[in-house]
Chain A
Amino acid sequence: MITPILVYFIIFAYLPMVGMWLAFTKFDFRLGFFKSPFVGLKNFQYLFKSGIFSRLIRNTVLYNVAFLLGGNAAQILCALFLSDLPSKRFVKISQSIIFLPYFISWVLVGLFSYALFNIDNGVINTIFRSLGLSEYNFYLKPQAWPAIIIAIQIWKGLGYGSVVYLSVISGIDQEIYESARIDGASKWQQIANITLPMIKATFVLLVMFNLGSILKGQFQLFYQLVGNNGLLFNVTDIIDTYVYRSLVVNFDIGMGSAAGVFQSVFGCILVLSVNALVKRFSEELALF
């Protein structure tokens, strides 16, 4: 019964690992996988020397750290409020709407950002004009995008993440709160001394889980928001967008593969070392 699954993973997950060989070749589609000339570490050397790599790694890591911290903070905040507000009706409606962005495709998110930020008829520029302010062409201004990208990522993941934290909070024994109240603990003290310590384990687990994939970018987010807009690459290009472009736009298979191999190898080393480190402190929190 398990055979089809094993076959699937061998073909679609393990076989491509062999394809990492491409990173060491000057790939020619006509010659194919086996006959393309071997160039050793040349692709990697080029990526490092040209400064492309340092830019890609910087962007990928910084965005992921921002997503992780900002995202979790916003999700915890939402979960704290949603678990506590007295009007169940309000909570239900609010939760449903916050969860909605999770369900839509990134293409639609791209359209949202276009409707908000474009110069001709975007909402923000329409508001600027009606207030007598000058227009702001977001698509020419690299400095505007880190904040926009981070905000949209948090927006889309908010519903999902707050459900995770809500499920943890709702699992906390209510009697603990009750005795705290009887002892005269204020609301803020209850949150600081009961709720937050209780969700710490989940937070650590999520951070760890994501720390391992810190070199993996949210390709769809970046691509739908800024696409191939070269003006913004300095602040919006991540490893995944570079690999995709080298496959679809530049046809530079060797270079793209080299970036992909780097991502995969270092990502894997990162997960294993983070896991080993965590295991030292607490057996329970380790992933495996």
Chain B
Amino acid sequence: MKTTAISIRPDSGTKSFTLLGYGVMAIITIICFVPFWLIVAASISDEATILREGFKLWPRTVSLDAYRSIFQGSKALLHSYLVTIFVTSVGTLLALLLTSMTGYVLIRVDFPHRNGIAFFIYFTTLFSGGVIPTYILFVKYLALKNTVWVLILSCLLSPWNIFLMRNFMKSIPYSLVEASKIDGANDLQIYTAVMVPLSKAGLATVGLFIALNYWNDWYHASLYITQEALYPLQYLLYRMLSNAEYMKQAAAAGIFLDTVSLPSETLKMATALVVTGPILLLYPFVQKYFVKGIMIGSVKG
């Protein structure tokens, strides 16, 4: 506890360890930061300089052309922002409601089938039908292709989040549930009046995990969305990058394509930043919730 109380002079081993620690961590930190810096630097560079000299960590000429063309031109980006915001907010709220209800049911000791249900949920992490059957179910039998609902439904519930929520709720004194029951509250009232207000921290943490997952999802869009108006942000970015690459290869192979419509390198970088922006802006404020969630989630049980 009070390591400072007995101050033992650091021996040479401790000193060299600390020195090594600073060195190694500084290098690792820089490696984690450089790619972000690179994108920022490239997005404010001047296109001609990049084409002539390549990406530089320190742009010699600064130009905001890329951002200007993003905010003037593309309706597509605005559309995708709306799609992503809709999917993220509706999906997160729905997922939080269902996840917390499940967590609540799973901690009620007087509910007879809770172990059976916990296993029923857990089993889906062990064994799954796979991508293709799920795809055919969504497309052929539920007819959800090209709807926002497919994006919401496919990441709605995860066993991991359910068990994380349950672990949070387990830390609430169970006597409160029993006391409210004696006071005549029914199961739903206990959930809304006792559990939800008391698990705010848990809801925030799990909600952030869910929201991040929705925001960063491009994979389900690549399977189910073919209409440009419904592209979420990450998929829009992905399409832009892969189309540019495809056109470049075609041009190298001698196939004539209209290269004017090719997005410039700076535009790619600026779009990437605009698409990731909200995460980077919120990151400093929400990071502690994630740390908390990981700590609780990593505890077995």
Q: Which residues of A contact B (CB under 8 A)?
A: 1-2, 4-6, 8-9, 11-20, 22, 29, 32-33, 77-78, 80-82, 84-87, 90, 93-94, 96-108, 110-112, 114-116, 120-123, 125-126, 129, 155, 158-160, 163-164, 167-168, 174-175, 177-178, 181-182, 186-188, 202, 205, 212, 219-220, 224, 227, 240, 243-244, 246-248, 253, 256-257, 260-261, 263-265, 267-268, 271-272, 288
Bound together, the chains give a CA A94 to CA B26 distance in angstroms of: 7
Name A253's closest neighbour in chain B (CB-CB): B132
Please state if A247 and B131 are interface contacts (CB–CB under 8 Å): yes
- Residue of A6, A29, A96, A243 touching B120 (CB-CB under 8 A): A6
- Residue of B21, B98, B222 touching A85 (CB-CB under 8 A): B21
Bound together, the chains give a CA A32 to CA B292 distance in angstroms of: 47
Tell whether B78 is near chain A: CB-to-CB under 8 Å.
Answer: no
Please state if A219 and B219 are interface contacts (CB–CB under 8 Å): yes
Name A228's closest neighbour in chain B (CB-CB): B242
Q: A81-B24, A186-B11 are in contact. Are A13 and B133 (CB under 8 A)?
A: no
Q: A17-B133, A97-B32 are in contact. Are A125 and B128 (CB under 8 A)?
A: no
Please state if B272 and A256 are interface contacts (CB–CB under 8 Å): no
Q: Given the complex, which residues of B lie within 8 Å of A224, measured CB to CB?
A: 238
Segment among B48-56, B62-70, B168-176, B253-261 that sits at the interface with chain A:
B48-56
- A-B pairs with the 9 shortest C-beta distances? A19-B133, A16-B129, A126-B54, A260-B130, A105-B216, A16-B133, A121-B54, A81-B21, A186-B13
Q: A5-B102, A96-B284, A243-B132 are in contact. Are A107 and B42 (CB under 8 A)?
A: no
CB A68 to nearest CB in B, in angstroms, measures: 16
Bound together, the chains give a CA A33 to CA B298 distance in angstroms of: 40
Bound together, the chains give a CA A22 to CA B234 distance in angstroms of: 31
Please state if B134 and A94 are interface contacts (CB–CB under 8 Å): no
Bound together, the chains give a CA A170 to CA B120 distance in angstroms of: 34
Report whether over half of chain A's contact residues are helix, strand or loop; otherwise say mixed.
Answer: helix
Q: Given the complex, which residues of B lie within 8 Å of A187, measured CB to CB?
A: 11, 13-14, 16-17
Report whether over half of chain B's contact residues are helix, strand or loop; otherwise say mixed.
Answer: helix
Name B212's closest neighbour in chain A (CB-CB): A103
Please state if A19 and B137 are interface contacts (CB–CB under 8 Å): yes
Bound together, the chains give a CA A94 to CA B101 distance in angstroms of: 37
Tell whether B193 is near chain A: CB-to-CB under 8 Å.
Answer: no
CB A115 to nearest CB in B, in angstroms, measures: 6
Please state if A19 and B132 are interface contacts (CB–CB under 8 Å): yes
Name B218's closest neighbour in chain A (CB-CB): A107
Tell whether B188 is near chain A: CB-to-CB under 8 Å.
Answer: yes
- Residue of A5, A80, A112, A264 touching B130 (CB-CB under 8 A): A264
Name B298's closest neighbour in chain A (CB-CB): A164
Chosen A-B contacts, 23 in total, with CB atoms closer than 8 Å, are: A1-B187, A13-B129, A16-B130, A16-B133, A17-B127, A19-B136, A94-B29, A96-B287, A98-B29, A105-B276, A107-B218, A108-B39, A115-B38, A123-B56, A125-B54, A126-B53, A158-B28, A164-B294, A224-B238, A244-B131, A247-B131, A248-B222, A268-B127
CB B172 to nearest CB in A, in angstroms, measures: 17
CB A92 to nearest CB in B, in angstroms, measures: 10
Tell whether B60 is near chain A: CB-to-CB under 8 Å.
Answer: no
Q: Given the complex, which residues of B lie within 8 Å of A6, measured CB to CB?
A: 117, 120
CB B42 to nearest CB in A, in angstroms, measures: 7
Bound together, the chains give a CA A111 to CA B244 distance in angstroms of: 12
